[in-house]
Structure 1
């Protein structure tokens, strides 16, 4: 895996979206997403352009989903995305990949997902 910077191209990720976030990608992931899933990519860019992290919501105790996750979920929900489950065999691959990339405390995998070997992800409504 090698680091790429396709997100620096304003036609892939506009400056308005890049202004408030730091990015890291491999294999030109942003450009690939834009080319393969242009509608979904447009939604992701819109969320990046408008959503801002509020430090007051970062470290609230209790629950499996924090306020940040709920706020981001709501932003995608407004754009027609819905939560969906992945089959166990895909979950195992995703867990292995994310753990390999981010370590055992990967922020993208909740403790509940680790225990149940399932993921709730969002997909755009058809």
Structure 2
């Protein structure tokens, strides 16, 4: 694991301090160097984004208000949901003979092509991917990293970014905001249970994604993890709206 995101020339301190980060292969520095436009747009989205309790503390599935808002920001900059397929061809060379300073096969046979059907990534532009994995099953992370690895090894992408939640960090903030909101309600309407699940450890989180990076799940593909945390909060209360 590397920490090129700590370099203020790569990620401005004002953005660095509002999220939790992890990476493999100096992903931030590499993407900043080889995908400058796309990386700058990622930073623009992160700089503009704030965690609004009325969007965040709302029961919802994998693509709730928060993730939809992030996707919309990327769409406005020309990023698209994209499926990446690729095909591998192989050739068998036999019956070798000298041809000048080289040795070549007289017989060449093409083996059947392998067509690999991919899956849809949330946001793709240039040669960079940004997936938003907020409340999916954590098995999605294995799929993501395995695909990034394959696409990178076949020279289809320069690297990838996963935006997810820093679960432990956000849980404390959520419990405080929810408790403050409950105190504004009549006693018979109060409910101590959070409307979202921040206890389950088997959903997509920064810790789960980092664990998979540590196990080498992305291979040589540079992957940057961005964890939305309490520092991303806009400071407003939850009002139930």
* Alignment TM class, shorter chain as reference: 0.5 to 0.7
Distance change (3 Å), C-alpha of 1:27 and 1:15: same
Two-structure CA RMSD over aligned residues (Å)? 3.0
Contact 2:83 2:118 in 1 (8 A): no
Question: SS in structure 2 opposite 1:25?
Answer: strand
Given candidates 196, 200, 204, the residue that maps to 1:106 is 204
Deviation at 1:86, TM superposition (A): 2.9
Distance change (3 Å), C-alpha of 1:21 and 1:63: closer
Q: Distance in 2 between matches of 1:58 and 1:78?
A: 21
Instruction: Determine whether 1:25 maps to 2:23.
Output: yes
Segments of structure 1 that go 5 or more residues without pairing to the other structure are 109-126
Deviation at 1:89, TM superposition (A): 3.8
Deviation at 1:65, TM superposition (A): 1.2
Q: Distance in 2 between matches of 1:43 and 1:34?
A: 10
Q: TM-score, normalised to structure 2's length?
A: 0.37
Contact 1:17 1:46 in 2 (8 A): no
Question: SS in structure 2 opposite 1:60?
Answer: coil
Map of 2:41 onto structure 1 = 43
Given candidates 70, 73, 90, the residue that maps to 1:72 is 70
Map of 2:131 onto structure 1 = none
Larger relative contact order (Cα-Cα within 8 Å, sequence gap ≥ 6):
2
Question: SS in structure 1 opposite 2:20?
Answer: coil
How far does the alpha carbon of each residue in 1:14-62 deviate from its partner, in whole angstroms, 9 at most, with x for none?
A: 1121121111112111011111111100000111111112233234334
How far does the alpha carbon of each residue in 1:70-117 deviate from its partner, in whole angstroms, 9 at most, with x for none?
A: 11011112222222223364449x61636xxxx963359xxxxxxxxx
Structure number with higher strand proportion: 2
| Pairs aligned (count) | 103
Structure number with higher helix proportion: 1
Given candidates 90, 97, 103, the residue that maps to 2:145 is 97
Q: TM-score, normalised to structure 1's length?
A: 0.66
